[in-house]
Amino acid sequence: MAKQVLIVDDHDGVRKGLRMLFELESGFSVVGEAVDGHDAVEKALQLKPDLILLDLSMPGMNGLQAARAIRPMLPSTSLMLFTLHRDEVTDSAALAAGINAVVSKGEGADTLLNQAHVLLGV
């Protein structure tokens, strides 16, 4: 059975690109998209995906805030931060928020998919 993915990013084009990337990859199924952290929390609780891919910078509630809200409610869900703004401070804040992995958008699709495979054992 395919692992279910929720994609969270405030840019429509990024969400569509990530959806296509994961839908073309064996072992994954995109079950939803969210436009910000508040939407992510709601959809995470509704859908209970195996993986939530979170953007860091979003209006209202960012990816770290969303992770802190989601982690206690869905402890077995893997959380991955996919961000332009990767540095040591972001990495340590992500780990403190319960995020399992951080991938820079600059690292590209292959790195993102490889990390998703590792997290979910697909």
Q: What is the pLDDT of residues 55-73, one digit of tens each?
A: 999 999 999 999 999 999 9
* Per-run averaged pLDDT (10 residues), the chain, 122 residues: 96 96 95 97 98 95 96 97 87 95 91 95 87
> Does residue 46 contact residue 77 with C-beta atoms inside 8 Å?
no
pLDDT of residue 122: 84
What is the extent of the structural domain holding 43? 3-120
d(CA 7, CA 9): 7
For the domain that residue 22 is a member of, what is the CATH number?
3.40.50.2300
SS (H, E, C) 57-119: CCCCCCHHHHHHHHCCCCCCCEEEEEECCCCHHHHHHHHHCCCCEEEEHHHHHHHHHHHHHHH
Question: Which structure tokens are listed for 102?
Answer: 């951080």
pLDDT of residue 30: 98
Number of domains in the chain: 1
What is the pTM (predicted TM-score) of this model? Answer: 0.95
